[in-house]
Amino acid sequence: MGKLAFVFPGQGSQYAGMGKELAERFPLARAAFEEADQALGFALSRLCFEGPEEELKLTANTQPAVLTCSVAAYRVLREKDITPDYVAGHSLGEYSALVAAGCLSLRDAVVTVRRRGQWMQEAVPAGEGAMAAILGLPADRVQEVCEQVAQGQVVSPANLNSPEQVVISGHAVAVERAMEAAKAAGAKRAVRLPVSAPFHCALMELAIGPLTQQLASITFNALRVPLVSNVDADLVRTAAAARDALRRQVPAAVRWEESMRKLVALGCDRAVEVGPGKVLSGLWRQIDRSIATLNVEDAASLEKTLAQLAPPKAGLAGAAREATS
């Protein structure tokens, strides 16, 4: 049998109600939310479980919320003896992956990503930046289009998600020009994304300084499980390399398709999306349909994943009994 990868979602996967069912049924999941609430000094758990959506989608809230839900789901899987051979995370999700790999504590990670979200938001005045998804145009053509229409402004590929999807980021007017040029070049669609800042482009430079200081102030441990990083689409095994990758990823493109192909090259034939939503599972179908994908975000998805991956004695019914004992 091949290797198992855990992949952790990033911003955009959040929704009101996420994590609630796992927290109600599994003490380890509930403890993750309590740990995050204590570290942040406010009820992040309530925001995850109840919303409102408008508050949940603010970057400084979204990032710790998605991370905490992902770690809660991971802890339930670990309790059931489901552990990965490799981990990866989409942008913000790399922090979740590093917590799962034993490199970062949940407390340090949740405080850092909340501040990261604030610094990324503050790097560009509201309304000046934008992001858009370009569908059905190869990444090299998207790169050419961005270079052709930049006119001295910033616009560049930000998320190289799959053969079918490249997200661009930069100054709002330059992104609009690139959307029109991409459609003229043969893109199936160009869709403006409802985001609060232009992530993963040169406009994020102002966030690097404070994030670098923050990363230097927290403890990084050697990884128990190798990570495939966003910024290089290559393996990270050491504390120093993990810290450096987190610093460099903020203004750089997320090389997700390459990262997933790296996991395949390493022998992974199964992947579990650990955390809210199924965005990454959808991208897997565009990248490599031979990969068996599962996800864990609630009781039903956990039960399905355990049925596929767990030893015969493990199962949700037993887990639920343990949670109430």
Task: Tell me how far apart the alpha carbons of residues 89 and 65 are, in angstroms, rounded to a whole number.
Answer: 15
Kindly list the averaged pLDDT for each block of 10 residues, start to end, along the chain of length 325.
Answer: 95 95 98 98 97 92 97 97 97 98 98 96 93 97 98 98 97 98 97 91 96 98 97 97 97 98 97 97 96 97 93 46 36
- How many structural domains compose the chain? 2
Residue 232's CATH number: 3.40.366.10
| H/E element, 134 | strand 129-135
Domain identity same for 21 and 163: no
Domain identity same for 310 and 228: yes
Query: Which pair of tokens denotes residue 105?
Result: 């504590």
Asked whether 174 and 153 are in contact (CB, 8 A), the reply is yes
Omega before 52 cis (within 30°)? yes
Q: What is the pLDDT of residue 126?
A: 87
Catalytic residues: 91, 200
Which is nearest to 75 in space by CA: 30, 44, 18?
A: 30
Domain identity same for 25 and 155: no
Question: What letter does residue 202 receive in the DSSP assignment?
Answer: G
Asked which of 140, 174, 195 is the last residue of a domain, the reply is: 195
Q: What is the pLDDT of residue 312?
A: 54
Q: What is the pLDDT of residue 57?
A: 87
What is the extent of the structural domain holding 60? 3-123+203-324
Residue 184's CATH number: 3.30.70.250
C-alpha separations of 216 from 60, 86, 137, 220, 243 in Å? 20, 25, 39, 9, 8
Asked whether 258 and 166 are in contact (CB, 8 A), the reply is no
Q: What is the pLDDT of residue 319?
A: 43
Domain identity same for 277 and 157: no
Domain identity same for 12 and 114: yes
Asked which of 195, 227, 244 is the last residue of a domain, the reply is: 195
Domain identity same for 290 and 159: no
Asked which of 195, 223, 251 is the last residue of a domain, the reply is: 195
Domain identity same for 218 and 297: yes
Please tell me the number of Cα atoms within 13 Å of 119 on its side-chain side. Answer: 21
Task: Tell me how far apart the alpha carbons of residues 229 and 242 are, in angstroms, rounded to a whole number.
Answer: 8
Domain identity same for 15 and 31: yes
Asked whether 265 and 141 are in contact (CB, 8 A), the reply is no
Question: What letter does residue 121 receive in the DSSP assignment?
Answer: H
Domain identity same for 138 and 234: no
Query: What are phi and psi for residue 200, nearest 5 degrees?
Result: 55, 45
Q: Where are the alpha helices (DSSP H) in 80-105?
A: 93-100
